[in-house]
């Protein structure tokens, strides 16, 4: 299933988001589908909010998207995922490449239109703290209407976008985030986004006081979420259906604003990547030395997808 908007429709929705005329969606208890958090949240990340405003005001100053531009959100689930319990014949070694970076930046310098795995909130929406999701929503304004397209993401559901233009380049994460520049409207890079909400793990459960990572079904839920993400993305490219591969880019999914053990999360990404055949480029910041060492040691073991599932 999918929903498609023309440029004129996106411009109208963005105007309502900017003016704060939209109501909070039913069944949501966090955030709003408009840009009011930029102005009302305390404490707001002023440098980030200034970048958000420069981007959206610049968008409207240039006349907005062309009326016939097309923006599509595709919905996918983990239906059809192989049952890995007791399965020993998933022998492929996941194709995951570790990239150590000085700081987060986006969009990447890829000349393709790669798929970017976004650590989304289960209730998507704009915000003032410069998380990965918030920066991407600002840098590609059309992406911010995801809060209207899917107010609540179900446990096995994800969203894949068509190639959306990025209006701005960003560096840093959370308090270090700042907009570096706005792209010329004729030279905006295009990226496909995979919106997949991550569970908060690596935390103490309020009831039994054990680590949330160990609660039955949570790690399996993350694998299913990532399987839906990579499988859904693969269906968007005709050459993948014919046995080709595609490239996905990811950071420490679910290990930033949403917490999480880097080893557990990386194993989940590797299993899903191995099942689908995606080439996954995993970027970790060099100052997170222990995380980099753990991820590198894991990748050097050359575990198969089945091995990883058994370990998990």
Digit-by-digit pLDDT tens for the chain (312 residues) are 999 999 999 999 999 999 999 988 888 877 678 898 888 777 678 889 999 999 999 999 999 999 999 999 999 999 988 887 756 666 678 899 999 988 888 887 776 667 899 988 889 888 888 888 899 999 999 999 999 999 999 988 999 999 999 999 999 988 889 999 999 999 999 999 999 998 866 555 566 656 666 666 788 889 999 999 999 998 887 655 555 567 889 988 877 544 567 888 899 999 999 988 888 999 998 888 888 999 999 999 999 998 898 888
Number of domains in the chain: 1
Coil/strand/helix, residue 70: strand
Residue 257 pLDDT: 46
Residue 2 pLDDT: 96
| Closest C-alpha among 71, 83, 97 to residue 192 | 71
How far from 140 is each of 30, 185, 255, 275, CA to CA, in Å?
A: 22, 12, 23, 30
Residue 75 pLDDT: 96
Cα 303 to Cα 155: distance, rounded to the nearest angstrom: 27
How far from 190 is each of 37, 110, 139, 165, 253, CA to CA, in Å?
A: 27, 10, 11, 4, 21
Please state the pTM of the whole predicted model: 0.89
Radius of gyration over every alpha carbon of the chain, rounded to an integer in angstroms: 19
Cα 195 to Cα 213: distance, rounded to the nearest angstrom: 22
Domain housing 134: 2-311
Residues forming a β-bridge with 63: none
Contact yes or no for 205/212 (Cβ under 8 A): yes
Residue 109 pLDDT: 72
CATH of the domain at 130: 3.40.220.10
Q: What is the enclosing helix (H) or strand (E) of 197?
A: strand 190-197
């Amino acid at each position: 299933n999918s929903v498609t908007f023309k440029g004129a429709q996106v411009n109208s929705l963005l105007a309502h988001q900017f003016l704060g005329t939209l109501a909070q969606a039913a069944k949501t208890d966090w955030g709003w589908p408009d840009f009011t958090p930029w102005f009302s949240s305390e404490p707001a990340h002023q440098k980030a909010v200034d970048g958000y405003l420069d981007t959206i005001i610049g968008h409207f100053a240039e006349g907005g998207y062309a009326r016939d531009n097309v923006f599509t959100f595709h919905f996918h689930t983990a239906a059809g995922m192989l049952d890995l319990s007791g399965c020993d014949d998933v022998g492929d070694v996941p194709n995951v490449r570790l990239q150590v970076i000085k700081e987060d930046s986006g969009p990447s310098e890829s000349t393709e239109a790669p798929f970017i795995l976004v650590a989304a909130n289960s209730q998507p929406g704009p915000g003032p703290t410069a998380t990965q999701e918030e920066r991407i929503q600002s840098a590609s304004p059309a992406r911010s209407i995801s809060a209207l397209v899917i107010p609540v993401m179900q446990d096995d559901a994800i969203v894949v976008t068509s190639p959306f233009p990025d209006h701005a380049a960003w560096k840093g994460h959370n308090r270090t985030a700042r907009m570096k520049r706005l792209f010329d409207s004729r030279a905006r890079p295009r990226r496909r986004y995979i919106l997949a909400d991550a569970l908060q793990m690596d935390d103490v459960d309020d009831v039994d006081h054990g680590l949330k990572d160990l609660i039955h079904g949570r790690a399996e839920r993350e694998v299913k979420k990532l399987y839906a993400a990579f499988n859904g993305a693969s269906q968007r490219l005709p050459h993948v259906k014919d046995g080709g591969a595609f490239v996905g880019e990811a950071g420490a999914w679910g290990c930033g604003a949403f917490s999480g053990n880097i080893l557990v999360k990386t194993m989940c990404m590797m299993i899903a990547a191995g099942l689908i055949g995606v080439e996954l480029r995993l970027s970790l910041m060099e100052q997170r030395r222990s995380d980099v060492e753990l991820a590198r040691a894991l990748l050097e073991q050359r575990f198969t997808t089945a091995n990883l599932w058994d370990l998990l």
